[in-house]
Amino acid sequence: MRNAMTLPESVERAAARLHTARPDDTIILFGSQARGDTGPDSDVDFMVVQPVLVASRRTFNKWSVVPGTICHTAATEGRGLYGIALEGIFRDVRTDDSTQTMHRT
């Protein structure tokens, strides 16, 4: 914790469970529990901060044909699982072994 304030055991347990579930993420306590001004009706507010990569369709399509980019890796090695019109985003981008040129199918 950032300061030496003692937290209720239930808050510590909840934070520990979040950390167990998401060990690589940052767990932030905020609100009245973090400020130390809880009342009888106070709840517990946590924020879980995790790294997320988001790309627009246009960005994905642009970079999916450029080897060495994360979009290319996702397009050539990944499997589209969910999404609207995946065929329009998640195209089969591969190297033609005979010409070493990139093409989409």
C-alpha distances in angstroms, 16 versus 10, 21, 25, 42?
10, 9, 12, 20
User: What number is the average pLDDT over the span 26-35?
Assistant: 93
In angstroms, the CA 9 to CA 15 distance is 10
pLDDT value at residue 15:
95
Span 62-98, pLDDT tens digits: 999 999 999 888 888 887 776 655 555 554 444 444 3
Residue 100 tokens read as 């070493």
User: What number is the average pLDDT over the span 4-19?
Assistant: 90
Span 41-57, pLDDT tens digits: 999 999 999 888 888 88
Backbone angles phi, psi at 29, to 5 degrees: -95, 130
What is the residue extent of each domain of the chain?
9-49, 57-104
Q: What percent of the chain has pLDDT over 90?
A: 46
Residue 96 and residue 103 in contact, taking contact as beta carbons nearer than 8 Å: yes
Residue 7 and residue 29 in contact, taking contact as beta carbons nearer than 8 Å: yes
